[in-house]
Structure 1
Amino acid sequence: MVRSMLSLGVALLGASTAVFAADEPPTCSLEKKCPKETPCCSQYGQCGIGAYCLGGCDPRMSFSLDSCVPAPVCQSKTYKMDSLDGIVDVSKYLGDSSKADWVAQGEPLLFNGNVLLTMPAHSVGTVLASTTYMWYGNVKAKVKTSRGAGVVTAFILLSDVKDEIDYEWVGADLSVAQTNYYFQGIPEYVNSGNITSLSDTYENFHEYEIQWTPDTITWLVDGKVGRTKKRSETWNATANQWNYPQTPARVQLSIWPGGADSNAQGTIDWAGGPIDWNSDDIKKFGYDFATFGEVTVECYNAKSAPGTNLHTSYTYTDYRATNDTIVDGTNRTTLKSFAGTGLDMDAGGSDTSGSGTASASSPTVTAATIPGGTASGPGSAPADSDSGSGSGTSGGDSSSSVQPSNCQATGFSQDGCGSSGSSTTSSNSGQSAGVRVERTLGTSAFAALVAVAGLFLL
């Protein structure tokens, strides 16, 4: 349980955190790509430069496919989550994955050898995103969820083109882990399934695992299979493609306000109702929180595509953005400054080493450089205003259609079973504007504050 040190820590933190509406940069979508001067479409559907062009930059909605900075390839690693040293604020990260394990938006804290993701009242919570991308493989995390109506904890894989595999926990039900998947953010609300009868997810750590191959997604809890989805069940005959997650994805850990009044009614209902910004945890500690222990990533390590991590970076060659359009190549992944984009990665740079770490000498720019989070969470919203609770099935799956008979059961490549394939005409749901959290303290400063708080207890 979180005790007095966290209460004291948040008292010190609260004075330095503000939430406000940012000047709105241009929005972007599949139908409305970013302009050349702000060419990068962020995860949240807005155009900018700098950090907009790094993790989460959607090449389909950007000015051009090469507007986004190439994504660092998968690395097998266990993240102990017993320190904040590997976590860097999004405003300090320029793309060098050797310098940081996680990019943060919001306020991560350290307590009892674990990382807390916090959500102060009227904020959009906290999200950590891995600096490397997983193109199939296994990932598992030890998690204690948040609690309370409207409070959502998430552990997801999310690609830049919004392929997504989820674990989400609604704080009003501490015995259920909800699972879901999306292809390119298309809002298929029949894809969810629940893993039930868990012991109190707020009080107890459970180990949640996603095993992802070109043919199957398996969700496990404490080593036991809770759900399986086969790629062969996802054929979309109309679009002539597999509606199956298949592109390199970051691991994202988050807490977010599903019950915020700015969200669609369907999302609020799914999240257990309106959020209580005067909850017991907020009154006691100053924030709602979720606790993350050890996270382990095991890359797929294919010898040939799809699923390789042989070189430096992943890029896309076609707007279809399927697994046969991905190149595991040697392109650089770092910007020289936040004035840079994938079109000019050296813009504004005085750091000739290309270290991928922002410095005080970075130039002043007028375009938006740091994307903000939103109250609708880091991935696709699980319910819209017309979809009711959106809670999905209880372990069941729904198939888009029967796969064509000439498609192979293995060796998945998104090529329309011998044809060139075609992109779907469905609209993308992974867009939203909203508020951003402005930080006046970096991660290291927060670590120092917690250390200072500890001195008061001696």
Structure 2
Amino acid sequence: MLRSLVVAALLGASSVAAVKCTRSSHCPEDSPCCSTYGECGVGAYCLGGCDPTMSFSLDSCVPAPVCEDRKMKMNSLDSIVDIGKYLGDSSKADWVAQGEPVVFQNNVLLTMPKDSVGTLLSSTVYMWYGNVKARFKTSRGAGVITAFILFSDVKDEIDYEFVGTELGDAQTNYYFQGITNYQNSENITLSDTFANFHDYEIRWTPDKIEWWVDGKLGRTLQKSDTWNATSKNFDFPQTPSRVQLSLWPGGKEGNAEGTVAWAGGPIDWDAPDIQKSGYYFATFSDVEIQCYNAKSGPGTNSGTSYWYKDAAGTNDTIVDGDKRHTIASLMATGEDMDKGKKEDKKKDSKDDKDSKDSKDKDKGDDDDDEPATIPGGSSGAPSNDHGDDSSSGSGSDSSNTPSGNPDGDSDDTEPADTTNCQTNSFNQDCASSDSSKSSSSSDDGKGSNAGTRNGASALAIIIAGGALFWL
């Protein structure tokens, strides 16, 4: 069965309640795309994270951009686009943001203001095997989770996760199609992850996974050791995946008891970092993707996009081809990629006005029937929530939270302006219009606000209400 996500209400969500989706209960035709969070919609639901095995059909999800070698210096917001403005063109951005990244002293901070669900960055390109390396400092504190993972649309997963009370450990883990097995986890010991930058690397091939820290091998998993005699399958991550960086509240009130225990206890929303900076934060410096570049499948990237030809969702069902991977609007789907396309801009102003008036009237008549367009996650991360892991996690007491200062640059962090943020879901409208120009230096100590710097509109705030969970 699929693993559960953190269960929490989406406060402030719109009245549009997205339909749930599972492998046994697919999305309906009018909201055909099943998001990472197990809900149905159109638009962004059909892009990164769209699960073809739970959607209306395999073609409901938009094909995914193939792997590209990328060196991404995390010193500005220029390559980060808000999820409400991303239409699948991976050439225009490196990352899709949900939450509130900011720039501080030539690094990108993933932030988690009080009572929020944190921040998630997802790469716009996918990896079908290869190496990915990230240099960063984690956050800290009971209930605070920093993560660097690979996550596929059918929920194959390779993890680094960091519990904020255990700053001397990097937890490594893997999952096949979301199947929970907490015996898969192993720790790598290292120096204080909040005070120090470390280089974390995942080396992934069709035969094995290696986790490296600071140039030293910390763990190896052989595919041959993952054979499942019951299902007659290797429970080994094997499908194209996005790189995801996240900061999320494992200790948030309302989360499963096991999740809170694994996360080190309930989160303190009045901790020193919140009082001083306005948010918990993790500091990211660099991310590099190196593709596997196989000459024949699995692991190729010779085309422009990946898609699934069978609901089994294994590496032999992946097609590396040349299908389009962009949509015209947030009303489009994989089967109607031009739906909502803007009319010819060459029309005269009268025609444009008449068209707008007509659309506004139609919108007023049909508001109640419009599908959700922007998936929201209440957990702050799509990775496994450890909700059934009450005994095998860290379970550290919150009193173990380190009290020492971070290194010099973190100590002077000041909060971004989050006055207008709705920080209880991954659909936030925090930035004013003049915040669209991000600064790459930010050496004045005030983080530059990403928010909806690309102008997320009301359309980008349509999300599902209620609790999110996998059945």
Task: Give the whole-Å Cα distance in 2 for the aligned partners of 1:384 and 1:219.
Answer: 24
Give the whole-Å Cα distance in 1 for the aligned partners of 2:247 and 2:432. Answer: 19
Q: Which residue identity is paired with 2:175?
A: Y
Aligned match of 1:112: 105
Taking the aligned partners of 1:456 and 1:253, their CA distance within structure 2 comes to: 22
Pair 153,92 (structure 1): closer, same or farther in 2 beyond 3 Å = same
The question of whether the paired residues in 2 share the 8 Å contact of 1:165 and 1:181 is answered with yes
- Separation of aligned partners in 2, 1:334 and 1:350: 14
Aligned match for 1:265, one of 235, 243, 257: 257
Candidates 36, 45, 62, aligned match of 1:43 = 36
Aligned to 2:387: 384
Change (3 A) 1:351 1:241: farther
Aligned to 1:439: 429
Pairing 1:346–2:349 present: no
Contact 2:88 2:327 in 1 (8 A): yes
- Are 2:227 and 1:235 equivalent residues in the alignment? yes
Instruction: Report SS of the residue matched to 2:81.
Output: strand
Task: Report how far residue 350 of structure 1 moved.
Answer: 1.7
Match of 1:132 in 2: 125
Aligned to 1:99: 92
Match of 2:60 among 60, 67, 79: 67
Deviation for aligned residue 1:453: 9.7
Q: CA deviation at 1:77?
A: 1.0
Question: Post-superposition shift, 1:452?
Answer: 9.2
- Scaled by the length of structure 2, what TM-score is found? 0.79
Residue 314 of structure 1: aligned partner:
306
**TM-score, normalised with respect to structure 1:** 0.81
Q: CA deviation at 1:388?
A: 2.2
The two structures, once aligned, show a CA RMSD in angstroms of 2.5
- Kept in 2, the 8 Å contact 1:123–1:437? The answer is no
SS of the residue corresponding to residue 427 of structure 2 reads strand
Q: Which residue of 2 aligns with 1:323?
A: 315
1:192 aligns with 2:185: yes
* 3-state secondary structure, aligned to 1:437: coil
Alpha-carbon distance change, 285 to 440 in structure 1, aligned in 2, over 3 angstroms: closer
When residues 221 and 389 of structure 1 are mapped into structure 2, their CA distance, relative to the original with a 3 A threshold, is same
Aligned to 1:250: 242
| Pairing 1:295–2:282 present | no
Structure 1 residue 112, shift from structure 2 partner: 1.0
Change (3 A) 1:61 1:221: same
The residue number in structure 2 matching 1:370 is 374
User: What is the rounded CA distance, in whole Å, between the counterparts of 1:346 and 1:456 in structure 2?
Assistant: 41
Match of 2:162 among 165, 169, 174: 169
Contact preservation (8 Å) 1:266, 1:389:
no
Runs of at least 5 residues in structure 1 that lack an aligned partner in the other structure? 1-17, 354-360, 393-433
Q: State the aligned residue count.
A: 390
Counterparts of 1:405-424 in structure 2, within 5 Å, are none
Once the two structures are TM-superposed, the CA of residue 37 in structure 1 deviates from its matched residue by 0.3
* Paired AA for residue 374 in structure 2: I
